[in-house]
Amino acid sequence: MLDINEISKILPHKYPFLLVDRVTSLTVGESIEAYKNISISDQVFQGHFPGHPIYPGVLIIEGMAQAGGVLAFKSVADESEFANKVVYFMSIDKAKFRNPVLPGDQLVYKLSVLKHKGNIWVLDGKAYVDDKLVCEAELKAMIVDK
């Protein structure tokens, strides 16, 4: 549905901190599904952990948040506004890490809107590898002018 070039127009994040490779489904104001392919060539594996690479949980949460940002932007903003707006994290609640994410995995983010009022979004986020839940959290964010 959205490739990396379209995602780059929406989010201010750029390589190596853009953590969404593709959006596979998006229902405006309701939900998004996206993914990131985890590769041993990702810079983070130089230090996390040499000889035993595990994708950091904080980056899983950040990837979910970025996917949520795409959902929020596509739900309320017109494309001409993307360059002048940014999504800020407000809180992360109920975060749980269920299984490790390893090089070669495809990390699938599934987020749904729990609440939306004005520029505030509360999202239920889940991340999967091969349909197995690896992480979940409730994310709160706001869209603001740069």
Is 116 among the catalytic positions?
Answer: no
Query: What is the helix (H) or strand (E) element at residue 116, kind and residue range?
Result: strand 106-117
CB-CB contact of 8 with 19 (8 Å): no
Order of strands across the sheet that contains 31-37: 22-27, 31-37, 106-117, 120-129, 132-145, 85-97
Question: Given 13, 48, 52, 116, which residue is catalytic?
Answer: 48
Active site residues: 48
